[in-house]
């Protein structure tokens, strides 16, 4: 395989020397495709020194994951000719690069992608401050930087140094999506006003993730230092920093706001909407108990303007005041052009009641994404009503309540959604056996579904070949009970190693896999690791998964795996084999 890769690289290098015109370089895409296929067919990524993975979308008519050995001279020469053109977008996957090769990789990518304007870095457990700064300091045209990280923050303990260097070496940087991890968990990362003012004067996007940070002066400092800010996502420290969304509305042309912690009430929301004429997306994570049923009236009036709201994230707090929650849903039904709706704390409202309160206004038919956390009464009839209510939904995620109700969805309800909606993401829960050996194939191989979560008792008979073959395009898959479902449901999930093998043999592109069953053993664990080379997160539960699985993990080349989470069912479920 290495010989095939070298041969293809040599032909590509000779082709680029003979054909110097850019339009001719585009014609050699078939040669490049041979290189990529040869590289990606290597069975052992770590041993074959496949160190760099870059996505470049502007030069070739196809968008592969181009993988190159860092010190391969022929490949480097060919790639240099190919990457000399101005690149608009690049994605770097930091795939378990050994320390001795990191310097060469960073030099290679930094040199040949120095003209990119949009850079995204994923799979970053071992990607720290030193690697980031060495990579981007030569990218003088960089405008958008996104560094993916876990929910605990990125590996950047000193935000001051990172932001100072970005402000100095990336003069065109306008969009930052990055999070920071404090060295001491009890402390909070603190931003100096000087650093924020230097970089913030040209920022349009500032997304600091879900990790709490401290900014002296709170929202007033952000508004003063970032006068052009359009998108803000941050979690500040309420005890020390003054947090008022009206500061952002007065000082910035804000379009998207996800700021926490904010206690929204009628006065705060009305003042904010009045001063934010360009608002497109707002997240109301917590609403004060004294907020009235007229809370969303200013948003309804705002949506009738030219620049209307397209995304709303609302905490209903229906258990506190059910009537008020229904009034809010009725107000949402009058928001024109709303395309994404997420409802938190919806229990004890049932799905049919939520749809009835939202009504059948023309604005609801434009919804593309619908998410409900804590949803009761999810059954076949409610799902049919949901399909009639909004026929354009591409993402439907109905998460169960913590302990009250799970749902009674059957195969009929699931088929209704799959056949009548252009779904890309689906999450439903049920006490019933949604699938069995007689079930029809839900999806076809050419489907658009990318994420599927079935929080329900399943068995091997439900995972037949005809069923799993339609899941080939999945990136995210959850099979079995949700962690918030009632005690005892986990014992009813009978997927074992054989069922897991059927899944992974068909779903080679999975990046996130969860099988919440008590019957999975080390054999199923090994099968999942060997079959799914793109796995980033793996969650498995079972009495048969022992410490030997960790020894197996050390011997298997799994380059992208970031997180391995054994699901401990002892606290939630009853396992019949224990």
pLDDT of residue 10: 39
Confidence of residue 281 (pLDDT cuts 50, 70, 90): very high
Would the pLDDT of 402 be above 50? Answer: yes
Burial letters for 478-516: b for 16+ Cβ neighbours within 10 Å, e otherwise?
bbbbbbbbbeebbbbbbbbbebbbbbbebbeebbbbbbb
d(CA 282, CA 415) in angstroms, rounded, equals 33
Rg of the chain on CA atoms, in Å: 26
Residue that is written with structure tokens 């005809």 in the block: 466
Q: At a CB cut-off of 8 Å and minimum separation 6, what does 229 contact?
A: 200, 203, 204, 205, 206, 222, 223, 248, 252, 253, 254
* Residue 30, pLDDT score: 47
pLDDT above 90 coverage of the chain, percent: 32
Is pLDDT of 486 > 50?
Answer: yes
Question: Is pLDDT above 80 for 120?
Answer: yes
For residue 492, give the 3-state DSSP assignment.
helix
Choice between 308 and 37, residue whose per-residue pLDDT is larger = 308
Q: How confident is the model at residue 292 (pLDDT cuts 50, 70, 90)?
A: very high
What is the predicted pLDDT for the residue at 382? 93
Pairing of strands 311-315, 340-344: parallel
- Mean pLDDT estimate for the chain: 77
Which region among 53-67, 96-110, 317-331, 382-396 has the lowest average model confidence (pLDDT)?
53-67
Task: Quote the pTM value.
Answer: 0.80
pLDDT for residue 458 is more than 60:
yes
Phi, psi of 537 (to 5 degrees): -135, 130
Q: pLDDT band for position 366 (50/70/90)?
A: confident
Q: What is the DSSP string of 63-123?
A: ---EEE-TT-HHHHHHHHHHHTSPPSEEEEE-----HHHHHHHHHHHHHHTTT-SEEEEE-
In order of start, what are the domains of the chain with their CATH numbers? 274-432 (3.80.10.10), 439-578 (3.80.10.10)
Cα–Cα distance for residue pair 467/437, rounded to 1 Å: 9
Mean pLDDT over residues 375-397, rounded?
92
CA angle 501, 502, 504 (to 5 degrees): 65
**Burial label, 100 (beta-carbon count in 10 A; 0-12, 13-18, 19+):** exposed
The pLDDT assigned to 373 comes to 92
| CA atoms within a 13 Å half-sphere pointing along the CA-CB vector of 351 | 31
Across residues 373-386, what is the average pLDDT? Answer: 91
Most confident of 33-47, 183-197, 204-218: 204-218
Interatomic CA distance for residues 253 and 223, integer angstroms:
10
| Tokens of residue 102, six digits | 């990191």
Helix (H) or strand (E) holding 324: helix 322-332
pLDDT at 384: 94
The more confidently predicted of residues 12 and 81 is 81
- pLDDT recorded at residue 547: 76
- Of 243-247, 291-295, 428-432, the range with the lowest mean pLDDT is 428-432
Residue 289 pLDDT grade (very low, low, confident, very high; cuts 50, 70, 90) = very high
Token digits of residue 103 = 């310097």
pLDDT for residue 153: 61
The burial class, CB within 10 Å (0-12 / 13-18 / 19+), for 49 is middle
pLDDT class of 481 with cuts at 50, 70, 90: confident
Return the minimum-mean-pLDDT range out of 406-410, 529-533, 558-562, 567-571: 567-571
Find the distance separating the first CA and the last CA of the chain, reported in whole Å.
Answer: 47
Confidence label for 183 from pLDDT (cuts 50, 70 and 90): low
Confidence of residue 22 (pLDDT cuts 50, 70, 90): very low
Cα 430 from Cα 176, distance rounded (Å): 40
How many other CB atoms are there within 10 angstroms of residue 412's CB atom?
12
Would you state the pLDDT for residue 81?
Answer: 53
Using a 10 angstrom Cβ sphere, with 0-12 exposed, 13-18 middle and 19 or more buried, the burial of residue 32 is buried
């Amino acid at each position: 395989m290495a010989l095939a890769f070298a041969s293809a690289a040599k032909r590509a290098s000779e082709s680029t020397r003979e054909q110097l015109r850019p339009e001719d370089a585009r014609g050699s895409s078939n040669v490049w495709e041979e290189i990529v296929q040869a590289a990606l067919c290597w069975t052992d990524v770590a041993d074959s020194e496949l160190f760099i993975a870059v996505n470049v979308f502007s030069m070739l008519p196809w968008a592969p994951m181009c993988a190159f050995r860092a010190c391969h001279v022929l490949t480097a020469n060919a790639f240099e000719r190919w990457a000399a053109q101005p690149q608009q977008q690049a994605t770097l996957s930091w795939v378990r690069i050994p320390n001795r090769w990191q310097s060469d990789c960073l030099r290679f990518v930094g040199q040949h992608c120095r003209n990119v304007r949009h850079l995204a870095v994923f799979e970053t457990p071992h990607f720290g401050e030193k690697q980031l700064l060495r990579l981007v300091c030569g990218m003088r045209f960089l405008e958008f930087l996104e560094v993916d990280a876990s929910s605990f923050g990125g590996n950047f303990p000193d935000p001051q140094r990172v932001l100072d260097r970005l402000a100095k070496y990336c003069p065109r940087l306008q969009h930052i999506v990055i999070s920071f991890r404090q060295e001491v968990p009890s402390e909070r990362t603190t931003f100096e006003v000087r650093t924020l003012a230097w970089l913030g004067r040209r920022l349009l996007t500032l997304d600091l993730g879900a990790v709490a940070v401290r900014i002296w002066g709170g929202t007033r400092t952000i508004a003063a230092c970032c006068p052009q800010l359009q998108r803000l996502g941050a979690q500040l420290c309420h005890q020390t920093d003054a947090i008022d969304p009206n500061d952002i509305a007065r000082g910035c042309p804000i379009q998207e706001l996800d700021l926490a912690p904010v206690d929204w009430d009628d006065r705060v929301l009305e003042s904010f909407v009045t001063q934010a004429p360009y608002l497109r997306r707002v997240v109301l994570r917590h609403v004060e108990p004294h907020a009235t049923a007229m809370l969303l009236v200013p948003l309804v009036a705002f949506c009738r303007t030219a620049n209307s709201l397209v995304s709303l994230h609302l905490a209903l707090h229906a258990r506190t005041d059910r009537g008020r929650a229904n009034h809010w849903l009725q107000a949402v039904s009058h928001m024109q052009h709303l395309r994404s709706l997420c409802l938190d704390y919806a229990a004890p409202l049932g799905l049919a009641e939520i749809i009835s309160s939202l009504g059948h206004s023309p604005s609801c038919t434009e919804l593309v994404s619908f998410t409900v956390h804590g949803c009761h009464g999810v059954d076949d009839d409610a799902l049919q009503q949901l399909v009639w209510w909004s026929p354009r939904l591409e993402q439907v995620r109905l998460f169960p309540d913590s302990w009250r109700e799970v749902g009674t969805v059957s195969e009929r309800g699931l088929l209704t959604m799959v056949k009548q909606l252009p779904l890309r993401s689906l999450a439903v829960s049920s006490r019933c056996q949604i699938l069995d050996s007689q079930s029809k194939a839900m999806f076809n191989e050419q489907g658009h579904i990318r994420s599927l979560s079935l929080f329900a008792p399943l068995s091997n008979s439900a995972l037949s070949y005809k069923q799993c073959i339609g899941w080939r395009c999945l990136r995210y898959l959850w099979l079995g009970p949700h962690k918030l479902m009632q005690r005892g449901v986990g014992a009813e999930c009978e997927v074992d190693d054989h069922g897991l093998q059927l899944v992974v043999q068909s779903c080679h592109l999975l990046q996130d896999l969860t099988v919440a069953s008590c019957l999975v053993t080390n054999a199923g664990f090994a099968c999942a690791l060997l079959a799914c080379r793109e796995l980033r997160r793996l969650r498995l539960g079972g009495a048969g998964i022992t410490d030997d699985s960790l020894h197996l993990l050390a011997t298997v080349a799994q380059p992208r795996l970031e997180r391995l989470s054994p699901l401990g069912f002892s606290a939630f479920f009853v396992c019949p084999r224990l």
